[in-house]
Amino acid sequence: MLYGLFLAAKKQPFSSLFLLPIALWLGPLGLFLLGLLHGFSLLEEAHRRAQERGEGFWTPLSALWFPGILGLLLAGLAFLPLPPPTFPLPALNPPSLQASPEAKSHPGEEVAYQAPEEGFSPWVAFLNRALVYAQPLALFLLLLALLPLLGRGERLPCRGLHLLPLVLALLALGLFLLYLGTLGGGESLLGGTPTAPMPAPSQENSPKEAIPGPRRLGEVGMALAGLSALVTLGLLSLLALLVWRHREGERPEADQEIEAKSLRSFREALPQSRVRRAYFQALKALKALGLPRLASEGPLEYLERISPLLPGLRESLSELTRLYLPVRYGGKAGEEEAERAEALLEDILRLCSSAVSKGPFRAGSS
Amino acid sequence: MFLSRIQRALSGRVLLREETLRLSLATLLSGGHLLLEDVPGTGKTTFAKALARVLGLSFSRIQMTPDLLPQDLTGVYFYREGNLEWQKGPIFSQVLLVDELNRATPRTQSALLEAMGEGQVTLEGKTHPLPEPFFVLATQNPVEEEGTYPLPVAQRDRFTARLSLGHPDEKALLQALKEKEPLEGLEAVTQGEEILALRQEVRRVGVTEEVLDYLLALAGWLRNREEVRLGPSPRALLQVERLAQALAFLEERPFTIPEDIKEAFRAAIPHRLILRLEAELSGASPEGLVAEALRAVPAPVERA
């Protein structure tokens, strides 16, 4: 299970394989949660791969149905004729804070019955209530919190932090079930709700025997479960805050991206870029003609080398080079220069195409 | 404009190729010094004299010999009528032609170090500034080995560029044969103040970061070669940059291009490179390595 959680923290989809036993143990709810986790892991993996390829990965809202359906399908597995879970689940009634009437009518069984007459101590009662209401709320919030966290695991201060509430929620659930189990063992003596026999020591003993019931254990278990549920809620709130702050921090980045994009398009429209692009296109055309510029050649050296080979191009290319030099090495160009460079490029392309029709040059044919 | 003025003034007077004159003037404008390496009789001294004259600068010439002392260059203090008097040496001129520099002993050669590096001479604890602009044109004879002292690295590093005048073509030679007195009637077309002002202009010529990166890439390529024991120094690269700026300025360009860097690199680096003995024995030369570097390193130009 720990390895499964570790893999889940690493966003490995096959962590589900290791978490399956515990999900089976938890029953439909566990399988549902596992399905959700698996679905999210898959989406996260897809997101990561898209990022690696440098592609944008926008999760459409409809894609969020995927984990849900997967969870339901997995939960549906629980209704298959599989061997029953070893741990019998008692009815998930809120633990009674009052001593049962049976307890009063059978004073001799007070030892076996776990709930004290005066009820649980106030702090246990509080935690009990917290457990009853906070646990489903924590799970619900967990599911909600996982949605915006999708694909953000690596951006959080600690990788995999968003899975911690899930772990805690599971812990709380486990403790709660343990508590119910132990309590159920006591109640079974009175013909209470749990119908399945408990593999607890209490079951082996005769009902009439005074059993040291797991009252203390029940109290502590319930308290721990309630505490875990509260911590889960607290962590979820903290996580939501972190995500919110991260999103706040990301906004300038997004703005910068937009700025960079608009700057790029702005730069492309600048006269300098137009002149450089015209020169680049001319180089491409000459390369296609079999006269590529050598990597070590400067613009003037190149012009000097190819001018005797293409006398018709000499003038245009010379002027284009003259326009290109101050742009590339001096950073200056006006609108006029850009227009002139584009006109020269047209000339060069026309002359190149007519030269192609006469037959291609070979590099170094001079 | 400056170049064409000097070219017009020197036209037909000295046996000079255009690029040699360009590089010489660029060296002058970059604030550096020039090492002329050529066989005797190719017009080195005439060129130096003619250049000094058209530039309107004071000129002196020193013929180096093994028995020459540093004081013969810098000057001496002598006792006359109860007072110590100082007699300035030939170094106190604006254009100094040092003939056959490698004939002098290292001690005398090193007397030039301070003068070339800092434009001053220190004698008897007193510093004397040299006249500005101060431009050293030194020649060395590459053929004769007897009785010569090869220039130490520090001395070579002081020279911005090394040039070879080379043999003139037939037309220029014919012109030279007709000209009985080449320096007669040469007039100054500029003056010291203008040259100092032009040096300031040269410093304003733009060099983009990618052009500087190109220069660094060239130097790095050389340093990483097995054949090279000592690659270009940081001072050498600074001088290449300045020389490239001056070359661009002479072309009336307010920015440097890769070709300027290449030309400056070709002129300024080979005489500073020290190769391993095995490489020299196997026929490698600094000039060849520099040419190889210029062919191997991609220039910062649009790539199609």
The residue-averaged pLDDT of A210-235 equals: 60
Confidence of residue A215 (pLDDT cuts 50, 70, 90): low
Q: Residue B214's closest chain A neighbor by CA?
A: A296
The low-confidence residues of chain B, meaning pLDDT below 70, are: 11-15, 142-146, 168, 171-173, 175-182
> Measured between beta carbons, which residues in chain B are less than 8 angstroms from residue A276?
302
CB atoms within 10 A of CB A243: 18
Whole-number average pLDDT of chain A: 64
CB contact under 8 A, A300 and B297: no
Closest residue, chain A, to B205 (C-alpha): A330
- Average pLDDT for residues A148-154, to the nearest whole number? 49
pLDDT tens-place string over residues A6-36: 777 776 666 766 777 777 677 667 777 877 7
CA dihedral A10, A37, A39, A241 (to 10 degrees): -80
The candidate with the shortest Cα–Cα distance to A246, out of A311, A149, A122, is A149
**Distance separating alpha carbons of residues A350 and A281, to the nearest angstrom:** 12
Q: Is B64 left (phi over 0), alpha (psi -120 to 50) or beta?
A: beta
CA-nearest residue of chain B to A276? B302
* Range name among A302-306, A325-329, B111-115 with the lowest pLDDT average: B111-115
* Inter-chain touch B253–A298, beta carbons under 8 Å: no
Reading the block at residue A276, the tokens are 């450089």
More confident residue, B97 or A131: B97
What CA–CA distance (Å, rounded) separates A310 from B223? 39
Q: Which of B206, B296, B301 sits opposite A330 (nearest CB)?
A: B206
What is the reported pLDDT for A260?
63
For chain A, the distance separating the N- and C-terminal CA atoms, rounded to the nearest angstrom, is 74
- Beta bridge partners, B88, equal B75
Mean pLDDT over residues A117-129, rounded?
58
| CA end-to-end span of chain B | 35
Which site among B257, B261, B301, B303 would you substitute to test the A interface, given the most A Cβ atoms closer than 10 Å to its Cβ? B301
Packing angle of the helix pair B2-10, B44-55 (nearest 10 deg): 120
- pLDDT at res. B258: 92
Q: Can you give the residue ranges of every domain in chain A?
A: 1-86, 88-100+108-256, 271-358
Contacts of A331 in chain B (CB under 8 A): 206, 208, 255
Q: Do A298 and B303 touch (CB under 8 A)?
A: no
pLDDT (average), residues A46-65: 63
Confidence (pLDDT) at B65: 86
In whole angstroms, what is the distance from residue B261 CA to residue B248 CA?
A: 9
pLDDT at residue A29 in the model:
76
pLDDT on residue A366:
37
Which residue does chain A place closest to B262, by CA atoms?
A298
Confidence of residue A120 (pLDDT cuts 50, 70, 90): low
Residues 206-235 on B with a CB inside 8 Å of A are 206, 208, 211
Interface of B with A in 38-97 (CB under 8 A): none
Domains of chain B (ranges, CATH numbers): 2-178 (3.40.50.300), 204-296 (1.10.8.80)
Contact residues on chain B for A302, CB-CB shorter than 8 A = 301
Chain A partners within 8 Å of B256 (Cβ) = 329
Q: Report the pLDDT value the prediction gives residue B77, as an integer from 0 to 100.
A: 81
Residue numbers in B near A301 (CB within 8 A): 259, 262
Grouping H, G, I as helix, E, B as strand and the rest as coil, residue B237 is helix
Task: Over range A42-51, report the average pLDDT.
Answer: 72
- Please write the tens of the pLDDT for every residue from B88-106: 888 888 888 888 888 888 8
Among A298, A324, A326, whose Cβ lies nearest the Cβ of B299?
A298
Closest-CA distance, B245 to chain A, in angstroms, reads 12
Which of B296, B299, B304 is opposite residue A287, by nearest beta carbon? Answer: B304
**Residue bearing the bigger pLDDT, A240 or B247:** B247
Q: How far apart are CA B65 and CA B227, in angstroms?
A: 33
pLDDT tens column, A250-282? 555 555 565 566 555 655 567 777 888 888 888
Per-position DSSP letters for B42-88, written without gaps between them? SSHHHHHHHHHHHHT--EEEEE--TT--HHHHHEEEEEETTEEEEEE
- Mean pLDDT throughout A100-116? 43
Inter-chain CB pairs, A–B, below 8 Å: 64
Q: What pLDDT shows up at residue B67?
A: 87
pLDDT band at residue A124 using 50, 70 and 90 as cut-offs = low
Q: How many Å apart are CA B1 and CA A286, to the nearest integer?
A: 34
Buried b (16+ CB within 10 A) or exposed e, A67-80: beebbeebbebbee
* Contacts for B164 with CB less than 8 Å, ≥ 6 apart: B36, B37, B38
Confidence category of residue A87, pLDDT binned at 50, 70, 90: very low
CB-CB under 8 Å, A286 with B298 = no
